[in-house]
Amino acid sequence: MQYTFAFGDVFAAWPLLLKGTWITIELSASAMALGLTLAVVCAWGKTAGPAPVRWLVNAYIELIRNTPFLVQLFFFFFALPAVGLRWSPHTAALTAMVVNLGAYATEIIRAGIDAIPRGQIEAGLALNLKPWEIFRFVILKPALKAIYPALTSQFILLMLSSAVVSVISADDLTSVAANLQSQTFRSFEIYIVVAAIYLLLSLAFSALFRVIYRRTLDFPERRQT
């Protein structure tokens, strides 16, 4: 079987591919920022909050981690309008990604918090630091340093999983690829290019995360006694 490669139609549509790539970056970056914020709040609630808060956080984590992301996406886009809450495809995709990332990142951050020695917290109390100061400077920052590789891997996985949002007509890179495929019928060429773009995005995010680590978390470890 012979196959003649023809990338002309794909490269001719580079403005659409560029737009889809930018939407994917914007959607992923927004979900990362909002999801991390949600995860920090939930991690605090799970480790230091009152019993009802811990129960709610645990229920949220178990619900999200034990259901498919696609089902969660359909819930926000198709199920909620049945009770009067309507979303645009972009808003539904962003909300589903934030909620999904929040659950997974909560457990990652919680593991980092649990790894902080009790003595460091007691030292913060001895210095008369306020509870939020202890959580921010004594607990959270060293915890983020410890779990940074796992957390950034989860971020990149979220970016790659964003391809699923095309099923609700969100205008991401995969949605653009599907539209081009239906117009040109050059499936092989289109998805080779799209796969290469996702690979470049993964490498770019990885490089960005390394820069962020060097500038914010690359501080000396505590002294070993």
The mean pLDDT of the chain is 90
User: In one letter, which amino acid is 98?
Assistant: V
CATH number of 10-217: 1.10.3720.10
Rounded to whole angstroms, how far apart are CA atoms 7 and 4? 10
Flag whether pLDDT at 72 surpasses 70.
Answer: yes
Flag whether pLDDT at 31 surpasses 60.
Answer: yes
Beta strands in the chain (DSSP E): none
Mean pLDDT, residues 207-212 taken together: 95
Flag whether pLDDT at 225 surpasses 60.
Answer: no
pTM comes to 0.89
- pLDDT digits over 133-148, tens only? 787 778 888 888 889 9
In which residue are the tokens 């809450």 written? 85
For residue 224, the model assigns a pLDDT of: 45
- pLDDT digits over 163-189, tens only? 999 999 888 999 999 999 988 888 899
Rounded to whole angstroms, how far apart are CA atoms 38 and 116? 21
Flag whether pLDDT at 222 surpasses 60.
Answer: no
At 1, is the pLDDT very low, low, confident or very high (cuts 50, 70, 90)? low
